[in-house]
Amino acid sequence: MLATLSLILCSQGTVQKNKSRLESLQNKLAVTSSRSKFIARLKNHGVDSYYERPFRLANSKLWVFPLLDTANKFLSPGRVVLADPSGGRHFRLSALVSLDPLGSCLPEVGFLKDNNIVLAGLTGWWGNGPDGAVVLLKKTNNGWAVSKQHRTKFQYIGVTLKHAPPAWIVTITGRDYPMNINVSHAMANVEMVQRIVYTNGGIVVEQAHRTMNPQAILDVLAGAAAKKDFPLVRKYCATPGLARQIYRLGNQLKETGWGVPGSICSTGNTKFQAEDLKLQFDFGKRSGHWILIRICNI
């Protein structure tokens, strides 16, 4: 998960290797500002709108879409393609960056500003546990060059883009492992957020942080109980009685296995079951914050 992000500017050699499929689209895609029509035109020429999802760059008339080297071949390498409508009746296509299916940025949003392009999305193709990624591209005499890139240290769920003049804000949400409770990979759902702010021609990566969703609160309670930190336990319990019960469990919360009564692949779970202790821990919101509200037998 922590492999080095491999976003590489397409050299003449790598473009040549991929030339056939990209060239087959050249002068074939009629200019349009409609996403549905753009997707339909790509589909008519064999571009898969699920794996090769197109989107329009904010603050521009440019479109971007991933393009596999081999059509309909999952995990095929490829490149990120820029579609420029300024060439006349048809989009002029060019390769922005190469696309390594196991490590580079598969973008889902982006924008154009100050002759720079910022792309944000996930690393590699959709699958089990990609990270989030952001790349800043600067315009040069020879095309576009990677200026800066960032890869999150948590697994990707989604990305949003917001214009807050003069800045642009990319927000990546994801999930990470808890530090104090024993869960499976699929149930590692401590919700994470990281913002990347574009300002003055560059990107500033802010510190990633937990959203303090229910699993994050359970993780804090388990750590606090093991350390016998009653004030911290009390902070996240609805009543003193619940806090005393958590406090008495101590290290048992770290040692037991954990499950949920519903889907394990969700950051929104509010009920957690300590399998060895035969107890269920329910969380609810009080004044906008998640806290433990009930412990019951299972």
Q: pLDDT tens digits for 92-142?
A: 999 998 877 666 788 999 999 999 999 999 987 656 678 999 999 999 888
The pair of structure tokens assigned to 224 is 């606090």
End-to-end CA distance of the chain: 35
Find out whether 166 and 147 touch, Cβ atoms under 8 Å: no
Q: For the ranges 5-9, 147-151, 238-242, which has the lowest average pLDDT? A: 5-9
pLDDT at residue number 204: 97
What is the predicted pLDDT for the residue at 9?
36
Give residue 73's pLDDT.
62
| pLDDT score for 2 | 34
What pLDDT was estimated at residue 103?
64
Q: What is the pLDDT of residue 75?
A: 64
Across the chain, what does the average pLDDT equal? Answer: 89
Identify the band that residue 160 occupies on the pLDDT scale cut at 50, 70 and 90.
very high
**DSSP category for residue 263:** -
Q: What are phi and psi of 237, to 5 degrees?
A: -120, 140
Average pLDDT over residues 152-167: 96
pLDDT in tens, 43-90: 998 887 666 789 999 999 999 998 888 766 666 778 899 999 997 899
Percent of the chain with pLDDT over 70: 88
Per residue in 190-219, pLDDT (tens digit) is 999 999 999 999 999 999 999 999 999 999
The 8 Å CB, 24+ separation contacts for 71-79 are 71/21, 71/46, 71/47, 72/46, 72/48, 74/125, 75/101, 75/102, 75/125, 76/101, 77/101, 78/18, 79/10, 79/14, 79/15, 79/18, 79/22
Q: Does position 6 have pLDDT exceeding 50, yes or no?
A: no
The residues with which 207 forms a beta bridge, in sequence order, are none
Beta strand pairing status for 116-123 and 105-113?
antiparallel
pLDDT score of 246: 98
Residue 286 has pLDDT above 70, yes or no: yes
- Residue of 285, 246, 280 whose CA lies nearest to 260: 280
Which pLDDT does position 101 carry in this prediction?
60
Is residue 3 predicted with pLDDT exceeding 60? no
pTM over 0.95: no
pLDDT at 18 over 60: no
d(CA 221, CA 232): 8
b/e burial code for range 174-193 (CB count within 10 A of at least 16 → b): bbbebebbbbeeebbbbbbb
Question: 233: closest CA among 79, 195, 222?
Answer: 222
pLDDT of amino acid 72:
60
Task: Name the residue ranges covered by the structural domains of the chain.
Answer: 12-153, 214-297
- Per-residue pLDDT of 218-234, as tens digits, reads 999 999 999 999 999 99
Beta bridge partners, 64, equal 55, 82
Alpha-carbon gap, residue 258 to 260, rounded angstroms: 7
